[in-house]
Amino acid sequence: MKIDLAAIEDASRELYIRALKMLPPDIKEGFDALVTHESDSTARGVLGTMITNITIAERDDNLLCQDTGLPIYNVEIGRGVDVDGYGLKMAIRRGCERATREHPLRSSVVHPLTRHNEHTSCGIEMPAIHIDFIDADETLRITMIPKGSGSENNSFLRMAIPAEGVDAVKTFVIDCVLAAGGKTCPPTIVGVGIGGTSDLCVALAKRAATRALGTHCADPDGAALEAALSPAVNALGVGPQGLGGDATSFAVHVELAATHITMNPVAVNMQCHSARRASATFTPAGVAYGY
């Protein structure tokens, strides 16, 4: 399957706009579950406003949240795919810029020192483009994630040591949720990365935070930790928007990587309640949009 870079550019433009406007079905179901179990009346009202907002964004064809975020494109390339890799990256960048100019969208991207905004949602190393290879025939999938800053500003890494054991991981997650309070726009998805190198650990946390609700860590011990941490986080009572209640988080997601005998790293990255993502899958049959 030969990949047409013009189609990649168009899809990259379309994905940014789609992600900003339509919340994935798993997140909508997550809201339904939270509001059903919420015991605090203020929190139920806050969740109700969030659900109303989803309806209004769809009705008015508008963005769910004004924060267009940092644009992230995750690319998965299967077998038998013929693609110019560098050309692919440039096509994604052009699509991101076109979405910003043509919709128009607020460019939230600035130079980190001069704070100069090119009004393209692009800059040095931005959009963030991550490329991986998967065991699927003639398939190329792009998942676009606009990562809001309220949640991204609450990202944490701790290089714990083996003697601290898994208790260090559990304590760190609880303390990060407490430190974040209402700043992350809860209810959140709490992404936890465990193991790897320091940079991989943070990347795992991001992968966990942006995974669909209802999915589980592939490692059974990681999945067990997810099951234990999810209710624990909600027992803290931070609640939606940090105003109190049960619905602090939709779920805690864990991703693991093997690590060094001397290391026990843990990272936390959170996704806000506007847990936006959109995907485009290219196959010989054409392009199909989803979440």
Partner 1 sequence: MSHHELELPVDEAAVRRLRIGDTVTLQRTLFGIRDATQIHMFDHGRTTRFDLAGHAVIHTAPNVRKVTPDATNPAGYAPVCIGTTTSDRMERFTRPLLERCGVRIIVGKGGLREASAAAFRDLGGVYLAIVGGTAALETTWIEAIEDVDLDDLNPESLWKFRIRDFGPLLVGMDSVGGSLYETVREHAAAKRAAVLATLGVKA
Min. distance of Cβ 194 from partner 1 in angstroms?
A: 15
Q: Which of 28, 89, 103, 130 binds partner 1 (CB under 8 A)?
A: 103
Beta strand 278-283 with 140-147 is antiparallel
Burial annotation 194-230 (CB, 10 A radius, 16+ → b, else e):
bbbeeebbbbbbbbbbbbebeeebeeeebbebbeebb
Q: Does position 68 bind partner 1 by CB under 8 A? A: yes
Write out the binding residues for partner 1, residues 25-44 only, by CB under 8 A. 42
Only one of the segments 84-92, 201-209, 230-238, 256-264 lies at the binding site for partner 1 (rule: CB under 8 A); that segment is: 230-238
Cβ–Cβ < 8 Å for 47, 95 = no
Is 107 a binding residue for partner 1 by CB under 8 A? The answer is yes
- What is the C-alpha separation between 19 and 95, in angstroms, rounded? 14
Q: How far is the CB of 232 from partner 1 (least distance, A)?
A: 5
Asked whether 204 and 265 are in contact (CB, 8 A), the reply is no
Per CB under 8 A, 247 contacts partner 1: no
Nearby residues of 92 by Cβ (< 8 Å), 6 or more positions away: 8, 9, 12, 73, 75, 127, 129, 142
Question: Which residue, chain included where needed, has tokens 């179990």?
Answer: 37
Give the tokens for residue 247. Answer: 């619905």
216 vs 205: CA distance, rounded Å: 14
Least Å from the CB of residue 222 to partner 1? 15
Among 11, 17, 65, 267, binds partner 1 (CB under 8 A): 65
**Nearest CB to partner 1, comparing residues 112 and 286:** 112
Which listed range, 63-71, 72-80, 82-90, 136-144, lies at the site for partner 1 (CB under 8 A)?
Answer: 63-71
Q: How far is the CB of 278 from partner 1 (least distance, A)?
A: 16
- Residue 182 in the binding site for partner 1 (CB under 8 A): yes
Alpha-carbon 132 to chain mean position? 17
Rg of the chain taking only CA atoms, in angstroms: 19
DSSP H helices, 82-153, are 85-102, 149-152
Rounded to whole angstroms, the Cα distance separating 178 from 207 reads 21
The reply on whether position 167 binds partner 1 by CB under 8 A is yes
Single out the residue of 273, 277, 279, 280 in contact with partner 1 (rule: CB under 8 A): 273
Task: Indicate whether 283 belongs to the interface with partner 1 (CB under 8 A).
Answer: no
Query: Interface with partner 1 includes 122 (CB under 8 A)?
Result: no
Which range of residues in 6-14, 66-74, 259-267, 281-289 is near partner 1 by CB under 8 A?
66-74
Which residues contact partner 1 (rule: CB under 8 A)? 42, 46, 49-50, 52-53, 56-57, 60, 62-68, 103-108, 115, 117, 148-150, 153, 167, 170-171, 174-175, 178, 181-185, 228-229, 232, 235-244, 272-274
